Chains A and B, each alone.
Chain A
Amino acid sequence: MPFSYLSAPDVETALRAVADDEDTKLLGGGTNLVDLMREGIERPAKVVDITRLPLGEIKNLPDGGVRVGALVRNSRLAADHLVRTRYPVLTQAVLHGASAQLRNMATVGGNLLQRTRCLYFYDGAAACGKREPGSGCDAIGGFSRNSAILGTSEHCIAAHPSDMAVALAMLDAVVEVRSVRGTRRVPIAELHRLPGDTPHVETTLATDELITAVELPAVPVAANSRYRKVRDRASYAFALVSVAAALGVEDGTVTAARLALGGVGTKPWRATEAERVLLGEPATDEGFLRAADAELAAAATTPHNHFKVELARRTIVATLRRLVPDGRDEESTI
């Protein structure tokens, strides 16, 4: 389908273009938008290419954090020395997503805004409230093996597909957003919306806003962090369940805990209930399991994806166990 194209030479030009026309889309690496345009799901009248904007740097911040330009390619983010040493969970999450070719193209901002891979979202003959507002949800009662179990509504159970965003949720990243109206900073927990009765409204961003950077705060415990992903094949598949975790342990007691889940939530899922249970408890499989159960108590499952509850329990425990100093990587004792 035809559209007009503009390669934005500077940020201001890009912002004016999206401010002037709601049917204008910003184009980064293209790995999601180009596909969705070809499928007829996204139909912009105009596409503004932002890949030539100067938003491709990774910088050390004075407070020990890191600022990542929105156009940093996923592969560059994963390979960055600061990211690898301060936030190994983020490097691992990115490397567990997509393929090397796609990571070389995809941008950090685009990854955050990628749309669901729910089969019914892609199937033009199916009912999908994300694609056609108010049309219902054929995933409910349909083939829902890949669907979410947390944050769902009667209007949508689509899982959020990003691995990177799960690590960013765990790290309390802050998303810097610009428009012709100015600059604002959005905590990642407030970037993605639960589907509720408007599943087509996926983020809290306005149509004229551009993500310019993602800031990672200093998170000392993240030096001891991991990302574990379980999927239907060993590589290059979306998560059934994934876990991003960081753990601080002193004398066998959890002194700091961060946990986020992928593949199970309608948005990148920060597991605050589990974190609350973990803190101050013994760093044992039993304690980890109690934390997992606290988070998963709210799960709403279908016959097809009920297995994700048990899979998430086991994956949470296995991931946390590896983060205990001198931790074991063997069969569970539970």
Chain B
Amino acid sequence: MEISLRINGSAETLEVQPQVSLLDALRDQLGLTGTKKGCDQGACGACTVLSDGARITSCLALAVQYEGHEITTIEGVDHPLQEALVRADGLQCGYCTPGQICSAIGMLAEHKEGMASAVTEDDEVDELDEEEIRERMSGNLCRCGAYNGIVEAIKEVAG
């Protein structure tokens, strides 16, 4: 099937089979290899991209379903969090980092919109403290265990 996707602000036309994930289309057909394949089953968050500003796991997204949506990958990101992560040692091998960054950008927007999390008490959405950040970012695993740095960097740009 021929589909048109909007990726990082530009229109892309590509030929895909229906079973091709958005992740594989990005990496294999468009050469956007910043988005990583970890588990390929929605469990690790390494493939996180933004669809119309909302974070999704691109491994469970069929490319054909995302025609007409604005997709943002790490290649289209220019955000203070990137520098903050370097300063806070928020990565070691870096494999989960693009997903962490896209996820955090989506998360900050959700918080700004007043969306609660599982640890928000009495539905009162307050500032992003460490507990809130850890809960809201739990869909992104880091096998190097750089969580402390990741939380610190997010806290810095959220504050």
Contacts and interface: CB of A to CB of B under 8 A. Distances in A.
Interface of A: 1-5, 7, 27, 30-31, 34-35, 37-38, 47, 49, 51, 75, 78-79, 84, 88, 91-92, 95-96, 98-102, 104-105, 234-236
Contacts of A235: 118, 134-135, 138
Contacts of B135: 234-235
A99 B138 contact: yes
B19 A37 contact: yes
Given A49-B64, A104-B54, A78 B19 contact: no
A200 to B, nearest CB: 22
A204 B136 CA distance: 35
A51 B140 CA distance: 25
Given A5-B18, A7-B65, A30-B65, 15 more contacts: A2-B18, A2-B19, A30-B62, A31-B57, A75-B115, A79-B116, A95-B120, A100-B139, A101-B45, A101-B57, A101-B106, A104-B54, A105-B56, A234-B138, A236-B139
Given A38-B40, A235-B138, A101 B1 contact: no
A301 B136 CA distance: 34
Nearest to B102: A101
Contacts of B60: 30-31, 34-35, 102, 105
Contacts of B40: 38
A47 B139 contact: no
B62 A27 contact: yes
B21 interface: yes
A30 B62 CA distance: 8
B65 A49 contact: yes
Contacts of A84: 116, 123
B107 interface: yes
B41 A102 contact: no
Contact of B41 (A4, A35, A236): A35
A132 B19 CA distance: 23
A101 B103 contact: yes
Interface string B32-59: 0000000011100100100100111100
17 contacts: A1-B19, A7-B65, A30-B60, A30-B61, A30-B65, A49-B65, A51-B65, A79-B114, A79-B116, A95-B116, A99-B42, A99-B138, A100-B55, A101-B48, A105-B56, A235-B135, A236-B139
B42 A35 contact: yes
B78 interface: no
Interface string B66-82: 01000000000000000
Interface in B101-159: 103, 106-107, 110, 113-118, 120, 123, 134-136, 138-140
B65 A27 contact: yes
B66 to A, nearest CB: 10
Interface centre among B18, B114, B134 (most CB of A within 10 A): B18
